[in-house]
Homo-oligomer: A and B are copies of this chain.
Amino acid sequence: MTISSLRPTGLGIREVSERTGLSVDTLRWYEKEGLLPPMPRGGDGRRVYPERMVEFVELVVALRRTGLSVADTRSFVELADEGAASHGRRMALLERQREDIHEQQRRLAADLAAVDTKITHYRELIAAGLDCDGLPVDETTAVRQRRTA
């Protein structure tokens, strides 16, 4: 019977990796770089992740994935160190990130529209058997024009 079996609340780094999608190396690198707080260690020096840490890691992943830089993510995590006193500042940081995400959504929608317009354009040319200048293509080309692979 081991210590860890007496403490079912702690997770190994591998388990956290599987639950969050971050590689084991990345979890360690994030901790070293301050994107995750220093983790408590078991008697053998291994990281023991509290169960609730998974949720925190997932927030960090969401922030990174939405483009928050490593530096700003570190700031957020440093604020978390301060406890309740930093709630307002953490909220403000997240609100800035929210605006950034809104901006990304607008850009993405605009780029999607551009791609869709082009797709429609190709579809029409293929249906009509025309080239980019609106001139009819020959039969050999028309056959190729319809190929999608």
**Footprint of B on A, CB under 8 Å?**
58-59, 62-63, 65-66, 83-92, 94-95, 97-98, 101-102, 104-105, 107-112, 114-116, 118-119, 122-123, 125-126, 130-132, 137, 141, 144-149
Contacts and interface: CB of A to CB of B under 8 A. Distances in A.
Contacts of A58: 114
A97 B149 CA distance: 15
Given A126-B88, A126-B91, A141-B84, A119 B98 contact: yes
Nearest to A52: B132
B148 A88 contact: yes
A135 B33 CA distance: 30
Contact of A114 (B62, B88, B147): B62
Contacts of A125: 84, 87
A94 B112 contact: no
Query: What secondary structure prevails in chain A residues at the interface with B?
Result: helix
Contacts of A59: 114-115, 118
Contacts of A91: 119, 122-123, 126, 148
Contacts of A102: 112
B118 A87 contact: no
Contact of A147 (B88, B97, B105, B122): B88
14 contacts: A58-B114, A59-B115, A63-B111, A63-B115, A66-B111, A84-B132, A84-B145, A87-B122, A89-B148, A89-B149, A90-B122, A101-B112, A101-B115, A104-B108
